[in-house]
Amino acid sequence: MPRFALPRALFAASAALAIVVTSPPAGALKRRFEPTDLELEEPGTLQADVQLGFLQSDGPGRLLLPDAELDLGLAPNVEVDVDFTFGLEGPAKGPYSLDHPITDNTWLAVKLGLLDVRDARAGTAWALGLQLGPKLPISQDARGVGYEALFLVGRSMRSLHVGLNVGVLADPGASVSRDRPVGAVAGLDVEYDLPHDVAILGEIGTVLYFSGDPHELEGTLGVQWSPVEEMDLSLMGLVGLPPGSDQYGILFGVARRFSLWK
């Protein structure tokens, strides 16, 4: 499949990052914790992972336009990630309003592969890694720079791939030095490969807050299809435990990989 030329792909990545960093604050949107795996992009490969969908909380519902992540491989065991979300929130009752945009604090992270042990004959592997970095105060009334750090454990057994995430977060808060959401995070990311480039995807993630914020517990289940090597399409359903989590939702995802250099 033909790949985008280097200037065009670089322009797209730079434009997306510029929008994230310079956009004026909109209404606040707390980022839901999404467990990740230990898959690292090849050096020179950019992956744009975009999800669109609808989420219903115990108050107003919202559209995600989009929930996106940009992953750029720099070295065999080093990847840079930018995770950001924009949306449109409606009232508790009635139609959505275009003048009520919401956004989330942006996470700029580096993902490091620390260990990768494979048994080609048995089709198994163990991997260890870290993902950590600052969270920029993009949402309304957010002050100060936050931080999130995850320890990652990956296990592959032929068609089954499991990723365990444990870590901590301190989000930007109402002031620079206090009123911050602070908590511990944990989650599982599961993928089971089926024939014909289809896979079953599942996630479960929780955030236990030390700061008095409502705890979160959400899970997703869905299917992924890869029509070509450079693209994945997914459809996911979400359920959660309010008040800290969304009640339910549906998400459509597109992941596209571009070769910037070799």
Q: Give the tens place of pLDDT for each residue, 51-108.
A: 999 999 887 888 998 999 999 999 999 999 999 999 888 876 766 666 678 888 899 9
Provide the percentage of residues in the chain whose pLDDT is more than 70.
85
- Residue 28 pLDDT greater than 70, yes or no: no
Q: How buried is residue 94: exposed, middle or buried, by Cβ count under 10 Å (0-12/13-18/19+)?
A: exposed
Instruction: Count Cα atoms within 13 angstroms, Cβ side, for 167.
Output: 23
Average pLDDT over residues 17-24: 42
Q: Residue 251 has what pLDDT?
A: 97
Give, as one character, the DSSP assignment of residue 18: H
- Kindly calculate the radius of gyration of the chain based on its CA atoms and give it in whole angstroms: 18
Q: What token pair was written down for 92?
A: 């508790």
What is the amino acid identity at position 105?
A: N
H/E stretch holding 173: none
More confidently predicted of 33 and 78: 78
Provide the percentage of residues in the chain whose pLDDT is more than 90.
65
Question: Which segments within the chain are labelled E, that is strand?
Answer: 27-28, 45-56, 61-75, 78-89, 101-103, 106-119, 124-136, 146-157, 160-170, 182-194, 198-209, 216-228, 231-240, 248-259
**C-alpha dist (Å) from residue 238 to 77, 102, 152, 217:** 31, 20, 23, 11
Instruction: In whole angstroms, give the CA distance from residue 166 to residue 101.
Output: 31
Q: Residue 22 has what pLDDT?
A: 41
Q: Residue 173 has what pLDDT?
A: 82
Q: Residue 243 has what pLDDT?
A: 87
- Residue 19 pLDDT greater than 50, yes or no: no
pLDDT tens, residue by residue, 164-189: 999 999 999 877 767 789 999 999 99
Domains annotated on the chain, with CATH: 6-259 (2.40.160.40)
- Residue 26 pLDDT greater than 90, yes or no: no
pTM, to two decimals: 0.85
Q: Which residues contact 262 (CB under 8 A, 6 or more apart)?
A: 44
